[in-house]
Amino acid sequence: MSKSLALNVSELDAHYRDFQALWNVSFEVNKGEMVSIIGANGSGKSTLLNSIAGLLTPSRGTIEFFGERIDGLLPHETVPRGITLVPEGRRVFPRLTVYENLVMGSYTPKVRAKKDETLAKIYELFPILEERRRQMANTLSGGEQQMLAIGRAMMSEPQLILCDEISLGLAPVVIKGIYKRLRQINQDGITIVLVEQDIKRSLKVANRAYIMLEGKVVLEGEPSSLTEEQVKKAYFGINPA
């Protein structure tokens, strides 16, 4: 795995009006890694992803993607640079077909020219999407919609995929299948930042993990170096019994 730095977030603060959601957050992601950001609801995980994707402008700090400053850029500027977000709750376009949803992910001229080739790869990864390609997205199961959201993100040919709570509300067997596909995507060279509440599953798939509490990074390291006691203390902000 290459050790070249893909993403460098340094001393990031973020606000929603008067509420500060991120406090001095710093973390790094190397090219080709899968890095987990773990934390309970309200810990700042989604805010961090939204800041990277351009949905929220940080109030302080820097975000660099392969050495280029991207903090303050909007989504239509981050996507062509190779960053794409799989949002919490999937957010597929319900009144469009599966095919139309996927094509929506290839709106930049560079990737639009390779649309059919990319579609073929996505259908190979998620065969059910090819079977359902003419169905409206709102007729899919929750797991199928999550596959569609991931496939739509891949249509932009990203170098970095930001995944926000992709297991939320799904059955364990469905989650297992989606994580299997994520590992395949990662093994194909796409860097992944994975935001989750599921501690065990996140640590199992990640090269490295960062644990957030109340808008701050409170613990980081390779999963093998993090003890259960350390993780519990960081996640819940309490000393384990």
Rounded Cα distance, 36 and 13, in Å: 20
pLDDT at site 42: 87
| pLDDT for residue 241 is more than 80 | no
Q: Which residue has the tokens 């093998």?
A: 224
Backbone Cα Rg of the chain = 18
For the purposes of burial, counting CB atoms within 10 Å of the CB of 118, is it exposed (0-12), middle (13-18) or buried (19 or more)? buried
pLDDT digits (tens, 9 = 90+) for 180-192: 999 999 999 999 9
How much is the average pLDDT of 23-48?
94
| pLDDT for residue 170 is more than 90 | no
Closest by alpha carbon to 130, among 148, 117, 112?
Answer: 148
pTM for the complete prediction?
0.90
pLDDT digits (tens, 9 = 90+) for 47-99: 999 999 999 999 999 999 999 999 989 999 999 999 999 988 788 989 999 99
Closest by alpha carbon to 64, among 34, 35, 26, 108?
Answer: 26
Confidence tier at 199 by pLDDT (50, 70, 90): confident
